[in-house]
């Protein structure tokens, strides 16, 4: 009933995308936690509803790390389009897809083609962690920051009882994932971090998060063509 009431005055919504995959010393659910929390922090003051995060994504390259769950690209594209179709059916016409996992990006063209086929739909695909302002803020601290490094290590993605290494890991020379075995890929990646510091001071993380919220909220407020 609340969604029905909301649709009487606004046709915007947010669909967060995540994954369940190894993240070195932080949560397997990091991508899902971050995308859903960011969606809520950005959209709540605007009264825009946020759908539950799609917590599984495309991540076959981490399957040598227990706990990782992957979906085939074709299945993921179909699932995403069916979710979007349900959202459209109820009257949402401006949909921000807030993606928190790089491996999901191959599904972006399918989602955008879906939007073109549907009547009156605007779809924005937002890769929050590498958007202009967020990446600029990250690079100012540590350009080597990448997967499972400090840039994803917030209080809400930490794992209780796990101490993080204090050194700066050199960027990993990532293998051609199509040419090497999963086990060899794990040997190259080691603990799973792609490089950079493992954690940074709280004030730096708060600044990164503030930038992410502001950039995402701006898309919700003024990113539409109409």
In the numeric block, which tokens belong to residue 119? 């009547």
pLDDT score, position 56? 98
Burial 104-133 (b: 16+ CB within 10 A, else e): beebbebbeebbeebeebbbbbbbbbeeee
pLDDT for 180 equals 81
Element (H, E) at 18: none
Name the pTM for this structure. Answer: 0.96
- pLDDT tier at 216 (50, 70, 90 boundaries)? very high
Q: How far apart are alpha carbons 169 and 148 in whole angstroms?
A: 11
Question: Which pLDDT belongs to residue 78?
Answer: 98
Distance between CA atoms of residues 113 and 109, nearest Å:
6
Confidence of residue 226 (pLDDT cuts 50, 70, 90): low
pLDDT at 24: 98
pLDDT at 175: 73
User: Looking at residue 223, what is its pLDDT?
Assistant: 94
C-alpha angle 48/15/59, rounded to 5°? 155
Does residue 158 carry a pLDDT above 70?
A: yes
Tokens encoding 52? 């539950």
Report CA 51 to chain centroid distance, whole Å. Answer: 14
Q: Look up tokens 């090497």; give the residue.
A: 180
> What number is the average pLDDT over the span 199-211?
97
pLDDT of res. 177: 72
Taking only the tens place, the pLDDT of each residue in 30-64 is 999 999 999 999 999 999 999 999 999 999 999 99
Q: Which pairing describes strands 12-17 and 94-99: parallel, antiparallel, or unpaired?
A: parallel
Task: Determine the Cα–Cα distance for residues 162 and 159; give it in Å rounded to an integer.
Answer: 6
Quick one: pLDDT at residue 168? 95
Task: Identify the pLDDT of residue 153.
Answer: 98
Rounded Cα gap, residues 193 and 171, in angstroms:
9
Q: Are 64 and 182 in contact (CB under 8 A)?
A: yes
DSSP codes of every residue in 76-142: HHHHHHHHHHHHHHTT--EEEEEE--GGGGGGHHHHHHHHHHSTT-EEEEEEGGGSHHHHHHHHHH-
pLDDT in tens, 105-133: 999 999 999 999 998 999 999 999 999 99
User: Can you list the domains of the chain with their CATH numbers?
Assistant: 2-222 (3.40.50.10310)
181 CB neighbour count, 10 Å cutoff: 10
> Which one-letter DSSP state was computed for residue 180?
S
CB 128 within 8 Å of CB 215: yes
Mean pLDDT along residues 80-84: 98
Average pLDDT value over all residues in the chain: 96
Do 84 and 15 touch, CB atoms closer than 8 A?
yes
């Amino acid at each position: 009933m609340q969604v029905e009431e909301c649709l009487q005055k606004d046709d915007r919504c947010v669909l967060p995308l995540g994954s369940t995959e190894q993240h070195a010393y932080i949560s397997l659910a990091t991508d899902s936690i971050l995308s859903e929390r960011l969606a809520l922090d950005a959209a709540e003051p605007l009264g825009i509803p946020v759908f539950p995060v799609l917590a599984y994504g495309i991540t076959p390259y981490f399957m040598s790390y227990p706990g990782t769950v992957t979906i085939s690209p074709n299945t993921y594209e179909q699932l995403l389009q069916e979710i979007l179709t349900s959202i459209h059916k109820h009257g949402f016409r401006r949909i921000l897809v807030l993606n928190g996992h790089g491996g999901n990006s191959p599904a972006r063209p399918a989602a955008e083609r879906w939007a073109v086929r549907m009547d009156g739909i605007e779809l924005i695909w937002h890769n929050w962690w590498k958007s202009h302002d967020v990446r600029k803020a990250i690079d100012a601290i540590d350009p080597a920051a990448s997967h499972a490094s400090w840039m994803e290590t917030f209080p809400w993605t930490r794992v209780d009882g796990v101490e993080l290494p204090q050194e700066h890991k050199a960027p990993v020379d990532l293998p051609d994932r199509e040419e090497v075995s999963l086990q060899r890929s794990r040997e190259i990646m080691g603990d799973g971090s792609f490089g950079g510091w493992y954690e940074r001071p709280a004030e730096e993380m708060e600044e990164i998060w503030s930038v992410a919220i502001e950039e995402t909220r701006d898309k919700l407020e003024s990113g539409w063509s109409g």
